[in-house]
Every structure is written in structure tokens, then in C-alpha cells.
Structure 1
């Protein structure tokens, strides 16, 4: 009898250990699924808010340039500036959805903020089939590579590999000609997109 009870206790112990292992596997799987779901939500939020900021930068530049001759795009000094009345271009100064902190800002060649990107270096879940305004995100390896800027490669119709991440210095930018011969001078400029420093230049808004 003692041996029988001992065998039963051994079997019960094995079943208990097996159950603990199964619970651990199930918990790990559920945690991974939950983490993936949270990341998908943050990723979608990043795309939504990033595109909204990108559009706000475009509207701001177009409004500030109206009736003026400028040497390129005009950019705000902060995202808060885009939210100010009487004509706000952005509903609020969003924070980075991936880190819940500040964005990393891309400075324009003549000052101001021309774009934002997340500080997260995590690998995106979504890698293809992006919305038209950010189709150049295709194949990017991290969220930090998702740069929401104006102008951008998708608007210019360029391939991502032909557009630098860093903005070229002001002396490498195209200058907007003035006077009545503006269109003739623009047509006579060489088609080579490389500036004096060898960097590819951000195309002027008039080319879109």
C-alpha cells in the first residue's frame, strides 16, 4: 500500500509540473501577443500623428510664403507655433507615440522645423504598403527611419535611396530667382540634383 501511494504521489507531482510548464508557456504567449497589439496601436498612432504634422508643415509654409518671394520653404520654430490661433495648422503639439517623449526634430536649411521623427529604434511591424504621403517608408528598419517632413521623397516622386536623411546646408539649396525672368532661369538650371557639397538637395516646393 505504501508503495502504491508513493507511485500516486509521484504521478501527481509530474502532472503538477506539467501543468506549471503549460501555464508558463501560455502566459509567455499571451504576453507576446499583448505586446504586439500595443506596438501595432502605437505604430498606427505614429503614422496618423506624423502625417498630420507633415501636412501642417506644408500648409504653414504655403501660407507664410503667399505673396512673398522666399529662398525656400518657411518653417515654424516649434510644433506649438502650428497650433496658435487665429489659424491653427495642427490640433495640438503631439508627443512621440512610441516613446511618449519629445520628437527628434529635423532643422530646415534656413532655420525652423522641417520634420520630425521618433526616437525609437525598434523594428516596425509594418514594412510595406504605406499611405501615399509616406510611401518612402517602405522597407525602413526602425521607427527612427520614419521621417515626417516637408518636402519629402514621396512628394518628389524620388526613391528613398536617392534622398539623404540629413538636410543639406543652406549653400547647397536651390535659390528661388526673382524678377520677371524667374521661369526662364528655373528652366535653364541644370537638372543635376547634387549641390556643391555633393549632397542631394531637397527639391523646392515649386517642383511639386
Structure 2
């Protein structure tokens, strides 16, 4: 009789142990999945921030060049030597010198043959989650394999700000209506307090890579 009770208790303890281990495994799997989802969510937010700030810098470089060339015959583009030049009064083109949201530091500067800054890129070599459906100003980012390949520059391969500035808006570095020459003073939009133009809203982030 006593032996049967002991065997029954041992069986119960063994079953409880199995249930406990199974529960621990489930909790571990759930925690791992939650951590991965959290990491993906954070990366998506950082990539949206990277695109937003990168486009703002790209626009600022375009407006800077158009402003410096206004009323003058200047071959090619005119670029600043530092990003800080884009923020200086009396006509700042950039609100502030942003850092690299993904690389967590300074941008890597893309220099023109003349030595000026024609663009910026993240120092991150990580693979982006965002692969398609980019804003018009950086539509050429489609299918790029790393953040490092996202180069925000003027002139840019997408060759358009249409969709950001709006239909009929003047685009720095491009011909205006009736064949107006690039670089004309009228091409730079009038911005409140001389600040760079507000950025158009970014599209909804793709729900799947």
C-alpha cells in the first residue's frame, strides 16, 4: 500500500517536472520572439528617422547650391565645406546638424571632386528592413543591401523632388516651366524665417520586409 502511494507521488512529481520544463521552454520562446519583434520595430523606427533626416540634408544641399548660384554663371554645383554651413544665418537651409540615427555617430561625408560636401551616408553596414516603396527623392534606394548604400546627395540619382515639394513646385537644380534655366533665384522656395522647407510625410513603413 505504502509502495503504491510512493510510486503515485513520484509519477506526479515527474509529470509536474515535465510541465514545468515545458512552461519554461514556452516562456523562453515567447521572450525570444518578443525580443526579435522589438528589435525589428526599433530598426524600422531608426530607418524612418534616417530617411527623414537624410532627405532633409539632401534638400538643404540642393537649396544651398541654388542659392549660391543665383544671379551668377557658375558651372556645376556649389557645395558647403561643412554641414554646419547649411545652418548659418541669415539664410539657414538646415535646422541643425543631425547625427546618423542608425550609425549612432557622425555621418560619413561624400565629397565632390571640388572638395565640398555633395552628400552624406550612414556608416552602418547593416542590412535594411526597408527595401521598397521609398519616397520619390530616394526611390533609387530600392533593393540596396546595406544602409551604407543609402547615399543622400545632390544631385541625386532619383533626379526629382516631385512628390515632396508638390505638383508645380520649383525644384532646385532642374529646369522650371517654359525652360527656365537651373539655378535661377526663383527656384529656391520661400521658407518662413529662412528655414529649410518642411519635409513631406514619409509613406507608411512596409509591414513586411
Residue number in structure 2 paired with 1:34 = 38
Distance in 2 (CA, whole Å) between partners of 1:142 and 1:17 is: 40
Residue number in structure 2 paired with 1:111 = 115
Q: Which ranges of structure 2 fall in alignment gaps of 5 or more residues? A: 161-181, 184-209
Normalized against structure 1, the TM-score is what?
0.74
Q: Which ranges of structure 1 fall in alignment gaps of 5 or more residues? A: 157-204
Distance in 2 (CA, whole Å) between partners of 1:8 and 1:111 is: 77
Distance in 2 (CA, whole Å) between partners of 1:66 and 1:111 is: 21
With CA pairs under 8 Å and 6+ residues apart, which has the higher RCO, 1 or 2?
A: 2
Structure 2 residue 124 is the aligned partner of structure 1 residue 91: no
Aligned to 2:119, what secondary structure does the other structure show?
A: strand
Structure 2 residue 17 is the aligned partner of structure 1 residue 13: yes
Distance in 2 (CA, whole Å) between partners of 1:129 and 1:33 is: 22
Aligned to 2:125, what secondary structure does the other structure show?
A: coil
Aligned to 1:85, what secondary structure does the other structure show?
A: coil
Offset of residue 128 of structure 1: 1.1
Offset of residue 41 of structure 1: 0.2
Structure 2 residue 79 is the aligned partner of structure 1 residue 55: no
User: Cα RMSD between the aligned structures?
Assistant: 1.5
Q: Any idea what the Cα deviations from partners look like across 1:27-63, whole Å, max 9, x if unmatched?
A: 0000000000000000000110000000000000000
Q: Any idea what the Cα deviations from partners look like across 1:66-88, whole Å, max 9, x if unmatched?
A: 12222311111111110111111
Residue number in structure 1 paired with 2:128 = 124
Distance in 2 (CA, whole Å) between partners of 1:92 and 1:64 is: 19
Q: Which is worse superposed, 109-118 or 24-33?
A: 109-118
Distance in 2 (CA, whole Å) between partners of 1:12 and 1:35 is: 34
Distance in 1 (CA, whole Å) between partners of 2:104 and 2:126 is: 14
Q: Any idea what the Cα deviations from partners look like across 1:86-108, whole Å, max 9, x if unmatched?
A: 11100110000002101111101
Residue number in structure 2 paired with 1:73 = 77
Distance in 2 (CA, whole Å) between partners of 1:60 and 1:152 is: 15
Aligned to 1:102, what secondary structure does the other structure show?
A: coil
Structure 2 residue corresponding to 1:4, chosen from 8, 23, 26: 8
Structure 2 residue 161 is the aligned partner of structure 1 residue 141: no
